[in-house]
Amino acid sequence: MNFLQEAKKLKAELVAIRRHLHQNPELSGQEYATSKYISGLLRKWGLKVKQVPNTTGIVGLLEPPTTNGQRRTGCVALRADMDALPIQEETGKIYASRKSGVMHACGHDGNMTCVLGAARLLAQQKKQLRKTVKFIFQPAEEISGGAKSMIKGGVLKNPPVEMIMGLHVYMPLAAGTIGIKYGQMMAAVDEFTLTILGSGGHGAAPQRGVDAIAISGSVITALQQIISRQTDPLDPVVLTIGTINGGSRYNILADKVVMTGTVRTLNEQTHHSMPVTIEKVVKGVTAAFGATYRLEYKVLGCSLENNESVLDKIKYETGQLLGTEKVIILKRPSMGGEDFAAYLETVPGAFIYLGAGNPAKGIKYPWHHSRFDIDEEALPIGAAVLAESVWTWQ
Q: What is the pLDDT of residues 194-222, one digit of tens each?
A: 999 999 999 999 999 999 999 999 999 99
Report pTM: 0.93
Contact partners, residue 101, CB within 8 Å, separation at least 6: 86, 87, 88
Q: Which helix (H) or strand (E) holds 259?
A: strand 256-265
CA distance 191 to 22: 28
Q: For the chain, where do the domains classified as CATH 3.40.630.10 start and end? A: 3-184+303-393
Q: For the chain, where do the domains classified as CATH 3.30.70.360 start and end? A: 188-301
Q: How confident is the model at residue 264 (pLDDT cuts 50, 70, 90)?
A: very high
Label residues 258-271 b or e (16+ Cβ within 10 Å = b): bbbbbbbbbbeebb
- What's the pLDDT score for residue 394? 72
- What's the pLDDT score for residue 70? 65
Number of Cβ within a 10 Å radius of residue 58? 24
CA distance 329 to 240: 29
- What's the pLDDT score for residue 1? 78
The answer to whether residue 377 scores a pLDDT higher than 80 is yes
Number of residues in the chain? 394
- What's the pLDDT score for residue 66? 79
CA distance 394 to 392: 5
CA distance 248 to 178: 51
Is residue 361 within 8 Å of residue 384, measured between CB atoms?
no
Strand pairing class (58-62; 48-51) = antiparallel
Residues 301-337 have pLDDT tens digits of 999 999 999 999 999 999 999 999 999 999 999 999 9
Q: How confident is the model at residue 69 (pLDDT cuts 50, 70, 90)?
A: low
Whole-Å CA distances, 20 to 94, 112, 138, 242, 390: 11, 11, 18, 32, 26
Rg over alpha carbons for the chain, rounded to the nearest Å, is 24
Residues 103-148 have pLDDT tens digits of 999 999 999 999 999 999 999 999 999 999 999 999 999 998 899 9
CA distance 245 to 330: 39
- What is the arrangement of strands in the sheet containing 188-197, beginning at the earlier edge strand? 237-246, 256-265, 188-197, 292-301
Residues 338-355 have pLDDT tens digits of 999 999 999 999 999 999
% the chain with pLDDT above 90: 96
% the chain with pLDDT above 70: 99
Q: 272-280, long-range: CB within 8 Å, 24+ apart, which pairs?
A: 274/190, 274/226, 274/237, 274/239, 275/190, 275/192, 275/299, 277/226, 277/230, 278/192, 278/223, 278/226, 278/239
Whole-Å CA distances, 138 to 24, 52, 141, 309, 333: 16, 9, 7, 25, 24
As a CATH number, domain 3-184+303-393 is 3.40.630.10
Q: Which CATH architecture has domain 188-301?
A: 2-Layer Sandwich (3.30)
Which carries the bigger pLDDT value, residue 65 or residue 322? 322
